[in-house]
Amino acid sequence: MKPDLHFSFQTDMQSNRLTIRREFDAPKDLVWDCYTKAELLDQWFAPEPFTAKTKSMAFEEGGHWHFAMVDPDGNEHWVRFDYKSITPKDGYRAQDAFSDANGSINRDMPVSTWDVTFEDASPRTLVQINSTYETPEALQEVIDMGMKEGMEATLSGLDRLLAKLS
């Protein structure tokens, strides 16, 4: 792994948008596969300490990816990506929403739109994700939830540690 792979994470409060740009030391075709095939997504899409588990995947316009982020205690947090438009190997647009285990979208939770682009920077590939929330309030809600989950993750980590020690 090369240490100089470009990574930037930016927030635009005015447009409720997060922009994540990252370089990968691999050709575009391979990176595209990693973003669009369930068996590959499952191997990286959940950040530590979570793992991703796909229930169903139809990478096509109008199709969706339904998966869970599983925490170390086995709790499942369901997510659904609905693919709105796809330009093979160059990018896609999807709606990112919370769902239940059956794939029904939770309308009470904020939804964001992802615009993902793949750019050839031979021998590397540059991926940009724009994740846009509809309103500042929606972004706030996600932040509140993120903080709550972060707190819970910390607490359950503490539980495990205490169980180990006692």
Partner 1 sequence: MDNNSPELDTIFLAFADSTRRAVLRRLGDGPASVSDLAAPFDMALPPFMKHIRTLENAGLITTEKVGRVRTCELNPEKYAAVEDWLKEQRQQWASRYRKLDQLLKQLKEKDK
AA letter at 1: M
User: Looking at beta carbons only, is 17 or 93 nearer to partner 1?
Assistant: 17
Nearest 5°: phi and psi at 163? -60, -40
CB 83 within 8 A of CB 64: yes
- Closest separation in Å from C-beta 117 to partner 1: 16
Report, in Å, the least distance between residue 119 CB and partner 1. Answer: 16
Query: Considering beta carbons, is residue 48 or 60 the nearer one to partner 1?
Result: 48
Residue 1 or 162 with smaller CB distance to partner 1? 1
* b (16+ CB within 10 A) / e for 120-138: eeeebbbbebbbbbeeeeb
Contact set with partner 1 (CB under 8 A): 1, 5, 7, 9, 11, 13-14, 16, 18, 20, 22, 24-26, 30-31, 33-34, 40, 43-48, 136-137, 139-140, 143-144, 146-148, 150-151
Smallest gap from residue 65 Cβ to partner 1 (A):
15
- Closest distance to partner 1 from the beta carbon of 74 (Å): 20
Between 45 and 78, name the residue whose CB sits nearer to partner 1: 45
The one-character DSSP state at 149 is H
Please provide the distance, in angstroms rounded to a whole number, between the alpha carbons at the two ends of the chain.
Answer: 39
Nearer to partner 1, 61 or 151 (CB): 151
Beta carbon of residue 68, minimum distance to partner 1 (angstroms, whole number): 15
Dihedral sign for Cα atoms in the order 33, 34, 36, 39: positive
Residues 138, 148: Cα–Cα separation, whole Å: 15
